[in-house]
Chain A
Amino acid sequence: MNQDLSQQLQQQVVTAAALRQTLQIRGGNSKAFLGQPCEATSLDVSQHRGIVSYDPVELVVTARAGTPIKALEQVLADNNQMLPFEPPHFGENATLGGTIAVGLSGPSRPFAGSVRDYVLGVKMINGRGEILRFGGQVMKNVAGYDCSRLMAGAMGTLGVLLEISLKVLPKPAAEITLIQTMSANQALETMYAWAAKSIPLSAACYDGKQLYLRLSGSASAVAGTATLVGGDALDNGADFWRQIKEHQYPFFQTEQPLWRLSLPATAPLLELPGQWLIDWGGAQRWLASDADAEQIREQTKSAGGHATLFRNAAAKTDRFQTPDQAVMVLHKRLKNSFDPKGILNPGRLYTDL
């Protein structure tokens, strides 16, 4: 049921702040596995749902945080539009709020942009229990610090999201996925080469055997470029990319720790034991490996990236790579500026944040 629970949620945060009671923000509970465990009273935002405004011609949608992402995507699809960053759902009940809070984007990320790139504004509750609005519902807006994009990927540690405004785009008229068998190094080289061209490339992934390139755009552009790129057309291209995005592809069916390595696309293949799947044209590499966490983090860092322990984590291992000390100091001060009593999702992002 669509309803506005802003006041109730605000009251709960105000009460918790007064009692210094910690809160664990919960939407659809589809991404509870992400990040560090957080033992706190549950703050359920899943019933605060509904699309607040959507005018397809404006290319902007505003919805409450508890709105199921699936329902939102359906409404957009009914108007031939989409969320260009292809957010992973990781569950039937996934909500818009959780999608923004974890800041994850799908296969289109290197070509279309990330979740934070499409955030235009938020309405949120900070740790003082104040309802605040940042950004807005227009494409260009530089009034005040960009606190709305800051919420993307903050894991709920800076505020309880109430409403989010996003830029949306038309769905491409045509799409094709082309596959070619080659080595990992060949695949990377091929990804770089096409990414530097003015072609409608919208995803580039290598599963260890085959390179998958997706083209999206007008029918003539996709057909013309497909001839240029070469390879075999994949019958169920949309299924393949959904499986990659949702971690349903066989590669992800592992009991080993699953790592997400965010790297410069042009980083060489890392000498770490385990199985690899390369997405984002080389900039996001998944590694299923029992290797030592420190070893993985150090190698990733020296290659210019950061490693997230995504699934199947051993109990005491940090999930996210810690920034350099001076940057960590800023994290703590920022956290303090939004949530001085430290009641919102404490420890979910970093143990002492």
Chain B
Amino acid sequence: MSIECVENVSEPVPTLGKQALVTELRRILPQDEAVLYDAEDLRPYECDALSAYRQLPMIVVLPSTVEQVQQIMALCHQHNVPVIARGAGTGLSGGATPIGDGVVLSLAKFMSILNIDPLARTAVVQPGVRNLAISQATAPYDLYYAPDPSSQIACTIGGNVAENSGGVHCLKYGLTVHNVQKVKLVTVEGEIITLGSDGLDSAGYDLLALINGSEGMLGIVVEVTVKLTPLPQRAQVILAAFDDVEKAGAAVGEIISAGIIPAGLEMMDQLAIRAAEDFAHVGYPTDAAAILLCELDGCNEEVSEQILIVRDVMKKSGATEVRTARDEAERQAFWKGRKSAFPAVGRMAPDYYCMDGTIPRKHLPHVLRRMAELSKEYDLPVANVFHAGDGNLHPLILYDANKAGELHRTEEFGGKILELCIEVGGTITGEHGVGIEKLQQMHIQFTPQELEQFHAVKRAFDPNGLLNPGKAVPTPRRCSEYKQLPSQKKQTHQHDNKCAHI
């Protein structure tokens, strides 16, 4: 395949030096510590939750009003300075990794819930509001915000929009894109625009759908109107243990075939079960090859009816044990194990690498088998936590970054897992985003024409490529680098921030 070069993808060259830019930014942000530029102050911003990639930015700004964001964007636009928007920095794909000659625009001070409208079932929030804080604030109205990524205690809604975040309840309640009605966006030029509406649609193109998951590449989200969901009358969870992963996988299909859409349907493999049990002591059967957690919610009668059906399906699918949580405390305990799976697995090795791919569910046995083979090949253990209902895999590779070459091997192993996801008709990222982490696999999932169409969409919003340059969509140059140097991935990463947008 020939790789064409795209002329319009070029590195933005700032026309203002650091000192002059700091002076200008301090005019916009006169308050103390709203413009950071000393290495020591910049250090906390050098990476997001994918900490293998680090880079100090030139400057960090912490505005507190929308007008300030507009002025910052206008200034940076005028002087061709790249801008990287940042929420809580919990992203797992390096989407908020700074670049050395760019400004990080932190939205941490935008922490207000501006309005809750119980009648319309919406909340208007600033981008720095934490995901869980929305549900906590709306609980008195028997409403909540449905998407619940694992990082929901810390992650912010602005970042959720940027990544189109999911969680454990996606199959029934959708992703961020399904639960956001309106956003206010500051454009690269510093203009403010509204996408979506307080109704259920808006005139013209569905730009709101395009903004969700756009990884901060199309504009700066400064206000979000989220849809709220009535708290279910009742939620109940069933835990089923299996002596074989394939049987657990088949049970998932049988539940769907029975006409049931569970609120959550999670699978954990043996390594993940043991880690979670050691960590959380919630009574998981540690001898099981896999467990399924199936949550049912809704009105009381329906939940009762579905519990019986699901229990029956689990048993017929060969479950060695089926438990229904006796009370709310046990339900919480079942979930606690699952929700602590990442840190629990993390304790088993000095480092772990969390992957994120989605596959058609029917290919699960094949994918797990291949992953076990790869695990042997690379001599790195892998634990599997799986949003089984929607096919979203989270393999956790255990490694030790202090051992020479182990991170490199881990990344290569991770890359192979993503390629496996594509091979079976899936995708390289279900909810963590491409960031800088998965740029290389984008070349496998998309053709050069498709990647160029992405760049064209980007240019429609950001003609000079100033917003989060080098993320999410690789340039053809990188594509050829990757194909020539598949075994030197780590080396190219070292230069990511420089070469990604060449």
Contacts and interface: CB of A to CB of B under 8 A. Distances in A.
A331 interface: yes
Interface in B140-194: 141-143, 163-164, 166, 170-171, 174-175, 177-178, 187, 191, 193-194
A103 B206 contact: yes
25 contacts: A57-B361, A57-B362, A114-B201, A126-B453, A130-B449, A132-B450, A133-B450, A138-B358, A138-B390, A139-B358, A140-B390, A140-B427, A142-B429, A143-B427, A144-B445, A145-B454, A146-B210, A198-B232, A218-B306, A223-B301, A306-B199, A320-B203, A320-B204, A337-B453, A349-B204
B381 to A, nearest CB: 25
Contact of B392 (A139, A192, A320): A139
A139 B457 contact: no
Contact of A150 (B193, B206, B387): B206
B48 interface: no
Interface string A111-150: 0011011000000001000111110111111111111011
Contacts of A323: 202-204
Contacts, number: 272
Interface residues of A, number: 87
Interface string B414-434: 000000000001111111111
The B interface, classified by DSSP as helix, strand, loop or mixed, is loop
Contacts of A262: 197, 199-202
Contact of A334 (B117, B202, B205): B205
Contacts of A199: 299
In which size bucket is the chain B interface?
35 or more
Nearest to B428: A143
Contact of A198 (B231, B442, B459): B231
Nearest to A128: B449
Interface centre among B121, B197, B203, B429 (most CB of A within 10 A): B203
B243 to A, nearest CB: 22
Q: What 4 pairs across the A-B complex have the smallest Cβ distances?
A: A140-B430, A337-B456, A333-B460, A221-B302
Contacts of A349: 204
Interface of B: 117-121, 141-143, 163-164, 166, 170-171, 174-175, 177-178, 187, 191, 193-195, 197-207, 209-210, 212-214, 217-218, 230-233, 253, 256-257, 259-261, 298-302, 304-306, 358-362, 387, 389-392, 425-434, 438, 442, 445-447, 449-451, 453-454, 456-461, 472-473
Contact of A149 (B166, B198, B209, B259): B209
Contact of B305 (A169, A198, A218): A218
A58 B301 contact: no
Nearest to A104: B201
Interface string A293-308: 0000000000011101
A316 interface: no
A283 B227 CA distance: 14
A195 B187 CA distance: 35
